[in-house]
Amino acid sequence: MHDATKVIRAGRPEPSQGSPFLPGPVFAGPYHLAGDPASSAYSYGRYHNPTWTFFERALGELEGGEAVVFASGMAATSAIMGCLLHSGDVAVLPADGYYAARTLAQGYFAQIGVTIRTAPTAGDAQGDHLGGAKLLWLESPSNPGLDVCDIARLVQKAHAQGVLVVVDNTTATVLGQRPLALGADFSLASDTKALTGHGDLVLGHVAVRDPDWAKVLRDWRTRFGAIPGPMEVWLAHRSLSTLDVRLERMAANALIVARFLSGRPEVCRVRYPGLPEDPVHAVAVRQMTRFGPVVGFELASAQAAEKFLGACRLIEQATSFGGLHTTAERRARWGGDAISEGFIRMSAGCEHPEDLVDDLARGLSAV
């Protein structure tokens, strides 16, 4: 079955006369529960919810494993780190990966005695730091720099040394890249971004091949209360059905945008894995089926970037990425990433590409 069909049908119940295609969200704390709790599939809202069940089933079908949904991408990140890392352990993270994940590892987990090593995503540099490690954390394409590593190669190297591998797949999504099929032990995503794509919820998930790890993650979610609301999960499952068509348009727009920017004298540098001239393109082609909506480009200064953003009328200034609406931001305003002051992270939406190019030209004319 093709992805376009899978996302529409994934996780939905078998047809039943008079019932909806996707049941509505279940709002419940307690459930009716007489006698032995084990006799009921549902007992209490912090443990499980039928709306979670449908969405997790859908994600599992797409990921090729078993999925556990969390209240946010960082809740999912915290669960993996919390379940795996203890005092004396060593974890290897991308130096250019998502800032909040690095901050968590280098802050809390370093304070409890975990040794954190970092290396760039480019050139598979993390593979040179695996000695004695317990966990290798990959992010490909990286956020915000859009570097790519050879996931299968690094997984093979890590597993040969007994190291578990996590891949943050937020930028690519499960339709752009399948970490579990590439050998990773954990596939992580912030579903706030392109997977749901409407900018109206915060959510995350982890998918695993080993069901024992799924149980460990669910136990963590229950004990720490990192549970998602049923309305958010239902909205996510509803939105999942359009993931294929959204990604198709967004990736096509991103490539058009990247090509346009590459020809403009105001732009110092463009990064997009889908560009044949991008330094990571050869690796990306081997492991990605779509190159995603995110384009990075540099203008000469922070002032130039702010003028550009201020002159755009269609491209909205906002953080996050992967939504229907095209957004952009001067990423260095947050700090924490090794990028230039004029670096802009842009997320191509589903608008008509000619309108996007016209708006980019309007913004660049102000620089």
Q: What does each C-alpha distance from 114 to 90, 118, 125, 255 come to in angstroms? A: 6, 13, 20, 40
Structure tokens at 361: 């030209």
Q: Is 215 a catalytic residue?
A: no
Could you tell me what percent of the chain has a pLDDT over 70? 100
Tokens 């891949």 -> residue: 167
Q: Is 307 a catalytic residue?
A: no
Residue ending a domain, among 207, 240, 273, is: 240
- Confidence (pLDDT) at 56: 98
Q: Are residues 119 and 259 in the same domain?
A: no
pLDDT tens by residue, 155-210: 999 999 999 999 999 999 999 999 999 999 999 999 999 999 999 999 999 999 99
Tell me the CB-side half-sphere exposure of residue 90, using CA atoms within 13 A: 13
- Confidence (pLDDT) at 214: 98
Q: Are residues 44 and 192 in the same domain?
A: yes
Q: Are residues 128 and 160 in the same domain?
A: yes
Q: Which of 134, 193, 246, 290 is catalytic?
A: 193
Asked whether the beta carbons of 84 and 135 are under 8 A apart, the reply is yes
Instruction: Read off the pLDDT of each residue in 247-256 and give the average, rounded to a whole number.
Output: 98
Least confident span in 34-38, 222-226, 308-312, 355-359: 34-38
Q: Are residues 225 and 307 in the same domain?
A: no
Q: Are residues 162 and 299 in the same domain?
A: no
Q: Which of 12, 31, 44, 46 is catalytic?
A: 46
C-alpha triplet 221, 225, 231: angle, nearest 5°: 90
Q: Are residues 213 and 266 in the same domain?
A: no
Q: Are residues 315 and 216 in the same domain?
A: no
Q: Is 89 a catalytic residue?
A: no
Residue ending a domain, among 190, 211, 240, is: 240
Could you tell me what percent of the chain has a pLDDT over 90? 99
- Confidence (pLDDT) at 160: 98
- Confidence (pLDDT) at 212: 98
Residue ending a domain, among 180, 214, 240, is: 240
Cα separation, 234 vs 135, whole angstroms: 32
Q: Which of 89, 168, 185, 337 is catalytic?
A: 168
Statement: the pTM of the whole predicted model exceeds 0.85: yes
Q: Are residues 9 and 86 in the same domain?
A: yes
Q: Are residues 137 and 41 in the same domain?
A: yes
Q: Which of 89, 98, 117, 124 is catalytic?
A: 98
Q: What is the mean pLDDT of the chain?
A: 97
How many structural domains is the chain composed of? Answer: 2
pLDDT tens by residue, 85-142: 999 999 999 999 999 999 999 999 999 999 999 999 999 999 999 999 999 999 999 9
Instruction: Read off the pLDDT of each residue in 288-303 and give the average, rounded to a whole number.
Output: 98
pLDDT tens by residue, 71-95: 999 999 999 999 999 999 999 999 9
Helices 302-311 & 353-365, crossing angle to 10 degrees? Answer: 130
pLDDT tens by residue, 27-42: 999 999 999 999 999 9
Pairing of strands 316-317, 327-330: parallel
Cα 125 off chain centre by? 21
Domain of 151? 3-240
DSSP 137-198: EEESS-TTT-----HHHHHHHHHTTT-EEEEE-TTT-TTT--TTTTT-SEEEEETTTTTT-S
